[in-house]
Amino acid sequence: MRLLIAVARFVAQAVYAVIKAATRVRHKVVFLSRQSNAPSRDFLLLGDALRRRDPDLEIVMRCRMLPAGLAGRIRAAAAMIPQMYHLATSRACVVDGYVIPVSLLDHRDSLFVVQMWHALGAIKKFGYQAVGRPGGRDADLASSMRMHRNYDLVLCGGPATVPVFAEAFGVEPSIVEPLGLPRLDYLYAAAEALRAGSGPIPSGIEALRGAFPRLAQPGREVVLYAPTFRQGGADRYRDVAHALADERYTLVVKPHPLESARIEGENVVYAGGVDVLDLLPLCSAVITDYSAVAFEAAAIGVPVYFYVYDIDEFSLRHGLNIDPLAEMPQVSSRDVGELAQRIADGDTHPEATRRLREGYASAAPGCADRIAGRIIDSTRTS
């Protein structure tokens, strides 16, 4: 495998060298992602902020998930050619995950690469933190693929995430800056509009209320269950639905995008495919496990509860940056019934929410403008 990757990299470097020799750098920023087939909210908001600061800046977004199967991998390899072209002709590049040509190739010294990871922080270990673990990457493969190389700036949501991301991406802590993510601007504005009862409510939230009238029913608390990805979690969705099967609640079930579990019920809203950023401002509580949705909820003051029924196994497989049972026992349990009782009793423990917010989601409003400023500055000096 290492030999095959080495040969592929040699060929890719040769092709890239030809592209760089035949092109010139333009006043352009390219956004690349394998997280979805459409630009994320973070990409779109940052793109808008860049345009406001510099209307002459060319912005290109290329988003494509890595397809399954041999034919899909061949198509993905072919898609790297236009990615190489945009990397060769851009002053800056923004990614929200590992993108092969960004880390694998040798770029012009002038290219400024920003890792805008698709989460404010990380409860479970990932990247270089998890290399060699059962749930992480193989060490030889990570080395051969130059996993998470070539970053000039790594973004995060708060000071407690800085050492975590530095370790996960294999960079110096000085490269990791808690400037926030553009999604925080959206959450802050949406939560304030709903709280104040005035001002424009985002169209995504209005559309949700129209599609799911239960979300706007008076006298009902909206509780979101949004766990991280795992195989065979359908039984746990049913356990949560049973524990919150009370007419005072509307339970919103938001599976991970890679998970197919589906739960129905009188008081259940199945929110597969719905952007969690539109759901959170409508919620009075969030139940999760190791998902970074905990930080997004805490950012707008929504109480978070951790249902960690498999924490021993999960910790051995992946590793944890935060152990909810040890660090926040007031809002964590292996038993969802216990958490449901705490929610019913109004036992929110705001100090736990405050700790999450101050450590991992403390960036002030204006995240997109701050990030845009850093990128614009880089284009002027390159």
CB atoms within 10 A of CB 32: 24
Q: Residue 47: its pLDDT value, please?
A: 98
**203 pLDDT tier (thresholds 50, 70, 90):** confident
**Residue 209: is its pLDDT beyond 90?**
no
pLDDT for residue 267 is more than 80: yes
Q: What are phi and psi of 94, to 5 degrees?
A: -120, 130
Report the pLDDT averaged over residues 306-326: 96
pLDDT of residue 275: 92
Confidence at 202, pLDDT banded by 50, 70, 90: confident
Of 265 and 100, the structure prediction assigns the larger pLDDT to: 100
In the numeric block, the tokens 């639905």 are attached to 241
> Pairing mode, if any, of strands 112-115 and 28-33?
unpaired
pTM of the model: 0.93
According to the CATH classification, is domain 197-360 in 3.40.50.12580? yes
What digits encode the pLDDT tens for the residues 122-169? 999 999 999 999 989 999 999 999 999 999 999 999 999 999 999 999
| Backbone CA torsion sign across 356, 362, 367, 371 | negative
Q: Quick one: what percent of the chain has pLDDT higher than 90?
A: 74
Beta bridge partners of 30: 60, 93
Minimum mean pLDDT range among 115-119, 160-164, 249-253, 258-262: 258-262
CA nearest to 188, candidates 280, 78, 86, 71: 280
Domain residue extents for the chain: 2-181+365-381, 197-360
What pLDDT was estimated at residue 249? 93
Q: How would you write 95-122 as a 3-class SS string? A: ECCCCHHHHHCCCCCCCEEEECCCCCCC
Query: For 2-181+365-381, CATH number?
Result: 3.40.50.11820
Taking the C-alpha atoms of residue 253 and residue 100, their distance in angstroms, rounded to an integer, is 33
